[in-house]
């Protein structure tokens, strides 16, 4: 005898909203990083002297030091743009997959989403290194990451 569930689990409103926000955010992340991979060969046409010319315009020491650090980080990011975009593309795709599974009320989606989001925090640091700019990015991004993971976790007991 087959048991048919006449009242399937309803998706909570909060879970629906979170999934839609994740569809939007991770969807843009996927598209943005596809463009990053496609556009990565353009880095070969940039003249490194552009950065030096920008520094020549700055005379004040604290600002010049700040600019030198920013330019160094920008150059490292530019050198690794394809790798950064590929890593982020894969992680945003995993995040999107996790959200789709959670939208279907499957717990596995939560774990996929959580792992992808935590790893996304550290992609810049892996390719550029830890520094003031990357650390601040991790700090601010982790606020939203923790918030979304916590809000998804509230709905975890309602998933299969």
Phi and psi based region of residue 20 (left: phi greater than 0; alpha: psi -120 to 50; beta: remaining): alpha
- 135 domain-assigned: yes
- Note the pLDDT tens digit of each residue in 25-38: 999 999 999 999 99
Look at the chain and report how many structural domains it folds into.
Answer: 1
Average of per-residue pLDDT values in the chain: 89
| Over residues 2-9, mean pLDDT | 60
- 45 domain-assigned: yes
Tokens standing for residue 120: 């996304």
- 106 domain-assigned: yes
- 149 domain-assigned: yes
Quote the domain boundaries for residue 133.
Answer: 13-158
pTM, rounded to two decimals: 0.84
- 3 domain-assigned: no
- 1 domain-assigned: no
| List of residues 6+ apart from 38 with CB closer than 8 A | none
Are 82 and 37 in contact by the 8 Å Cβ rule? The answer is yes
Comparing 150 with 76, the larger pLDDT belongs to 150
């Amino acid at each position: 005898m087959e048991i048919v569930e006449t009242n399937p689990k309803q998706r909570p409103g909060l879970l629906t909203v979170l999934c839609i926000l994740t569809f939007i955010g991770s969807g843009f992340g996927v598209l943005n990083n596809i463009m990053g991979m496609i556009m990565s060969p353009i880095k070969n046409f940039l003249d490194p002297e552009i950065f030096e010319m920008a520094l020549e315009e700055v005379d004040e020491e604290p600002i010049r030091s700040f600019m030198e650090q920013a330019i160094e980080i920008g150059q490292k990011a530019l050198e690794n743009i394809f790798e950064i975009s590929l890593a982020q593309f894969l992680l945003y795709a995993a995040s999107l997959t996790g959200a789709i599974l959670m939208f279907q009320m499957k717990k596995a989606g939560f774990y996929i989403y959580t792992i992808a989001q935590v790893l996304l925090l550290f992609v810049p640091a892996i390719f550029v290194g830890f520094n003031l700019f990357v650390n601040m990015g991790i700090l601010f991004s982790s606020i939203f990451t923790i918030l979304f993971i916590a809000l998804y976790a509230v709905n975890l007991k309602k998933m299969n």
